């Protein structure tokens, strides 16, 4: 299956962000993509998360998600994008990935678990963490996709939980904060999550200056494909369930592991 990576340069103009996603989805669909993934905070983004995020937050049946569902329908693709979801608290929102099918129906919604309280940032001041740490996956085009957001990439147990839940392609939708060594860390972590779980990792990132760019698709052997630079752009690349299965046969880590993801040994293995 061919999928698209849409590297945006989102800002505070929601209409402009939606228009960019519409253009990129059209371009990816023209190249045969059946699913297009966009970054964290695709619909609304600033250099620092502040009170305005809660102010613009909407429910998943609000105007932003209706527009995203329409883009998916219009171009006949599945679409995944970061939105600011109303949480029920007036001062905090959810940082949510919403996935829509080609019919416009909601396939899945993932609320970010690990908030970016690092490098002097305090995302949790204005963003509410997911109430559940259960992995979120959805099936589309003969593949199972797992969802995670940005800082989640630094927590390998979440990626392992997604692979245990059946994920063959991990969508790591991100707005990776710039800084010393950050591009190297971004590329290293996407490759590590792919290798240790025998799955594709699609790291879809916001472009500079807010983020680092370098969106990339890493295959289950850790080989990068379709790496973008720092410009806002879209690229398409093939992903295959057969490739995942072949790599997992070659490296049967899930059958061989002796430690439970949450601690202790697996039954009958020690």
Known catalytic residue: 173? no
Beta strands 92-100 and 106-111, pairing class: antiparallel
Catalytic residue among 9, 40, 58, 85: 40
Q: At CA 250, angle to CA 192 and CA 146, rounded to 5? A: 45
User: For 51, phi and psi rounded to 5 degrees?
Assistant: -65, -20
Catalytic residue among 9, 45, 65, 112: 112
Distance from C-alpha of 204 to C-alpha of 234, rounded to nearest angstrom: 10
Known catalytic residue: 150? yes
Nearest of 67, 108, 107, 65 to residue 83 by alpha carbon: 65
Catalytic residue among 65, 150, 173, 205: 150
Known catalytic residue: 128? no
Q: Decide: 195 and 222 in contact? Cβ < 8 Å.
A: yes
Q: Is 144 helix (H, G, I), strand (E, B) or coil?
A: strand
Task: Just list the catalytic residues.
Answer: 40, 112, 150
């Amino acid at each position: 299956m061919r999928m698209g990576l849409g590297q945006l340069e989102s800002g505070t103009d929601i209409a402009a962000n939606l228009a960019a996603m519409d253009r990129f989805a059209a371009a990816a669909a023209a190249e045969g993509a059946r699913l297009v993934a966009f970054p964290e905070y695709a619909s609304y983004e600033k250099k620092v998360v502040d009170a305005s995020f809660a102010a613009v937050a909407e429910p998943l049946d609000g105007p932003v998600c209706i527009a995203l569902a329409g883009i998916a329908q219009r171009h006949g693709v599945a679409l995944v994008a970061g939105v600011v979801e109303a949480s029920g608290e007036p001062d905090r929102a959810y940082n949510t990935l919403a996935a829509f099918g080609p019919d416009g129906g909601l396939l899945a919604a993932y609320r970010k678990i690990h908030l970016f309280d690092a490098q002097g940032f305090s995302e949790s001041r204005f963003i509410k963490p997911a109430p559940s740490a259960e992995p979120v996956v959805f099936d589309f085009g003969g593949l199972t996709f797992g969802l995670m957001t940005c800082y989640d990439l630094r927590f390998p147990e979440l990626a392992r939980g997604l692979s245990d839940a059946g994920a063959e392609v991990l969508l790591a939708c991100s707005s990776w904060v710039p800084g010393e060594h950050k591009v190297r860390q971004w590329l290293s972590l996407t490759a590590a999550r792919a290798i240790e779980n025998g799955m594709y990792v699609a790291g879809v990132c916001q472009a500079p200056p807010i983020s680092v760019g370098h969106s990339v698709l890493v295959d289950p052997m850790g080989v990068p494909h379709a790496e973008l630079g720092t410009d806002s752009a879209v690229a398409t690349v093939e992903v295959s369930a057969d490739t995942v299965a072949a790599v997992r046969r070659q490296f049967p880590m899930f059958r061989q592991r002796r430690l439970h993801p949450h601690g202790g040994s697996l039954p009958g293995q020690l």
